[in-house]
Amino acid sequence: MEYRIEHDSMGEVKVPADKYWGAQTERSHENFPIGVGIETMPKEIIHAFGILKKAAAQANHALKPEKMTDEKLAAISQAADEVISGELLENFPLVVWQTGSGTQSNMNTNEVIANRANEIAGKKLCHPNDDINMSQSSNDTFPTAMHISAVIALEDKLLPAAEGLIETFRKLEEENKGIVKSGRTHLQDAVPISFSQEISGWRSSLEKDVELVRLAVEPLKSLALGGTAVGTGLNAPAGFDTKVAEEVSKLTGKNFKTAENKFHALTSKDEIVFAHGAVKAMAADMMKIANDVRWLASGPRDGLGEITIPANEPGSSIMPGKVNPTQCEQVTMVAVQVIGNDTAIGMAATQGNFELNVFMPVIAYNFLQSTRLLAESIVSFTKNCVVGIKANEDKMHHNLYNSLMLVTALNPYIGYEKAAKTSQLAFRENISLKEACVKLGFLTPEKFDEVFHPEQMV
């Protein structure tokens, strides 16, 4: 491998000649051999860094044109665009397990953009610290990148995925109107419910989750940029914080604003904790829905068997013909991961000592993993399972009329205690509710038929 010599305040460093990163990136690459190639800084963070560096250059050009010249802005903007597009992603090798402020990833971005901008300009035009990091600090850029990436992940990936599943459930409700089945509570038989009502519960849960995520997104649109090292805004020109938020908004098409209190923005991660709580709520509902689906599809002969789901792949290496609810299983595993991530994020957010939280990379890593996994999980579940759900009406009808809890319909006519005795006798002697009720002398056969209509109980 060929190398070139780069330098920083600590001296010279050999860097791979075919990469744009510089000395500080290389030092981090060598000093943190932890999860290399596996747990690298999320690409969403790199994307967000490209956005904020371009926005910062534009704001500096407006406020400090003598330092951020037209020539520098043009070169930096082009290089930043290449970072945003993902074209330069191989130049970001650093792992999550680095400095807790994310300083090394900030410098990775500064060095890549500076070296690429110099290549574009054909001369040594830009310095990583003096130009790309102008009016900034790692302490305000990393939390800004976290918020930008979180908003994009939630609004552009997770919410569309959830809304797609909501729409699929809505169609499923229409297809299954009029089908009545046994309800279940405590995993025991309960009074009847229509299948469309059951589906509506799934849909409504997700609709509420979408509402909660939308509420949680708004605080994330406040940006720390402009606070620099400790929140005072040292070395940033007046108005930089407002101007750079405007530029980020233009680049993303989202309404970002500067944080009202930069001291809070640098040290507290409460907005991220709150937003991930909404993500966790959605994961919890997805766990419930997936479990309902696989219970209802259990069988095909010795389970509930009230619905069928698509047979996507063989389910066993030894049992021929076996098909498993694999899409439900991936959803539940993802939900467990999201819930675990929530604990990590909550713990990391407690570590905002004095003027800076130094657990930011692990917060960003877990948050973005949760949103990415949950969004992709929901899309897969919708496409490969939910669209193919079919009601087994015969089995639903059989289970409905076999349920002893239909006796609840008799409460208004014979009272709770007599209804309980009817149910107990029917179960004990394995006879129908009608036979038990008549045998006990509580109703005549004619009166029983007059008042007993399970389909009307929904």
CA separation for the pair 69, 204 (Å, rounded): 54
- pLDDT at position 250 is 98
Identify whether the C-beta of residue 458 lies closer than 8 Å to the C-beta of residue 193: yes
Residue keyed to tokens 């949950």: 374
CA separation for the pair 191, 374 (Å, rounded): 33
- For 53, the token pair is 């560096």
Q: What average pLDDT does the segment 114-134 reach?
A: 98
pTM of the model: 0.96
Q: Is 397 a catalytic residue?
A: no
Q: What average pLDDT does the segment 60-85 reach?
A: 98
List, as one string, the DSSP characters of 207-224.
Answer: HHHHHHHHHHHHHHTEE-
Catalytic residue among 9, 186, 298, 423: 186
pLDDT digits (tens, 9 = 90+) for 214-273: 999 999 999 999 999 999 999 999 999 999 999 999 999 999 999 999 999 999 999 999
Sign of CA dihedral 221, 275, 100, 37: negative
List, as one string, the DSSP characters of 309-343.
Answer: ----S---SSSTT----HHHHHHHHHHHHHHHHHH
Q: Is 149 a catalytic residue?
A: no
CA separation for the pair 10, 395 (Å, rounded): 74
Amino acid at 8: D
Catalytic residue among 7, 204, 316, 453: 316
Identify whether the C-beta of residue 222 lies closer than 8 Å to the C-beta of residue 270: no
- pLDDT at position 52 is 98
102: nearest Cα among 48, 153, 60, 170: 48
- pLDDT at position 1 is 85
